[in-house]
Chains A and B, each alone.
Chain A
Amino acid sequence: MDDRRWANLVTIATLGAVLSPVVRDTDGFPLSNYPMFSSRRDSAVQIHHVVAWSREGAHRPVSPELVGTDEIMQAHQTIKIAVRQGRADSLCREVAKRIARDTRAWLDVDALVVRTDRYDAVAYFQVGPKPLRTTVRAQCEVPRGERP
């Protein structure tokens, strides 16, 4: 095939493919209609997350690495899918095992809760981070073995 025909073929095929999601209205990879941040959104949001509880009753969110990925959005998706598929219990136990192996930052943590919290996202930063509603999906203890 000569250069010009090849140029035409690759150009038409590439641009046709790249622009096609606008007609099909689909998100995929590498062809996407780039729907992120495009939908109408109000300030009510739902967050699925794993919360660690310490012996003193303090709590803090578990980091994405302990959910099995270093990507924040992947971690959120992992928890969301586990909740939807009714696997929140097994996810809780997996994260608890990882926390038990960690010898430093999570030593004070005794228990985990997989939660779905509903917030007003704007009020979260204007007033304070109190959820409007909390649904506990699973609870588990961190397997520490015997303490000295």
Chain B
Amino acid sequence: MSGQHGFWYRSMPARRLAVLRCSIGGYALVYLVARLPHLAGVARFDPAQFHPVGPVSWLAQPLPVAVVWLLAVCAVAAGVAFVVGWRFRVSGPLFGGLLLWVISYRNSWGMIFHTENLLVLHVIVLGLARSADALALDAGTDPPRDHGRYGWPVRLLCAVTVATYLLAGIAKLKAGGIEWVTSDTLRNFVAYDNLRKAELGASYSIIGAFAVRYDWIFPPLAGLSLLIELGAPVALFGRRIGMIWCALAWSFHFGVLVIMAILFHYPLLGVAYASFFPVERIGDRVERAVRRARRLNR
């Protein structure tokens, strides 16, 4: 991490980090509000089902319903402050902490939803960086100069994204070895997942149910999935290669949606990969459009 323009501490515009704060934080906030009844609704579950994970692990028993709701509402309020960049030194880490708590609590009932890990990790990283030096209520009027302090969090967001895929690939190799690709494992998983949905009264993938009739489809799909996961670290070594990997990873999630009806919403909407792109250009375009609209109105 040496040198102002080093690999990790590379100078970047404050705006890029700010757009990431608005988009990732905004996404987390919308998700929190939309899922609030479910996130807080776990308070109704049978206490015998309580199996705490993450920071919730120190709890010996479930919290009272009112406290669960209060923390969820506080998380929403902190999320608003996070997105608009108000008192960010407090609201940044606070939203990261509360989001982590609320989602960990919901995951503490015997089922961990792996669709939310990356979102929470991204919000925590943004909350610990100077993500509100631009496009924020408390930001100064003069835009800050490009600096390494705005570069490393972007790098870290990318690295965390890549690490989650790499870990998933390693888990497959550790558990099944290369047989995970060559055997019927993926086909059996697709069949099992769709069967489970059908037998639990939920909608399942017709395409996946049809595909399991043909065993030859699955080894190439398994090989491609493993390649995307284990090859994820290359995305850190160049913007273009990073974008190509993002496109492949997105296709992987699209494939999962098509054959298993599992919606990894965060990557599928592209927000999970935003740190790989020069997203500040979106802010610039919005600003130019607003200025143009104002001129026309005069």
A residues in contact (CB < 8 Å) with B:
3-4, 7-8, 10-11, 14-15, 18-19, 21-22, 25, 27-43, 45, 47, 49, 60-64, 68-78, 80-82, 85, 87, 117, 119, 121-122, 124-126, 129
Contact = CB atoms under 8 A, between A and B. Distances in A.
Contact of B111 (A43, A70, A74): A74
Interface string B174-214: 11100110011111110110111111111000000110110
A112 to B, nearest CB: 12
Nearest to A87: B48
A126 B187 CA distance: 13
19 contacts: A8-B1, A15-B160, A22-B170, A22-B171, A29-B112, A30-B54, A31-B54, A34-B167, A38-B171, A38-B180, A40-B175, A40-B183, A47-B199, A47-B200, A69-B45, A77-B110, A81-B49, A119-B195, A125-B191
Contacts of A129: 195, 198-199
Contacts of B170: 22, 33
Interface of A, secondary structure class, is mixed
B156 A63 contact: no
B45 A63 contact: no
Interface residues of B, number: 74
Given A18-B160, A129-B198, A129-B199, 16 more contacts: A7-B148, A7-B152, A10-B156, A11-B159, A29-B107, A30-B121, A40-B180, A42-B184, A43-B184, A43-B191, A72-B202, A73-B111, A74-B111, A78-B49, A81-B110, A129-B195
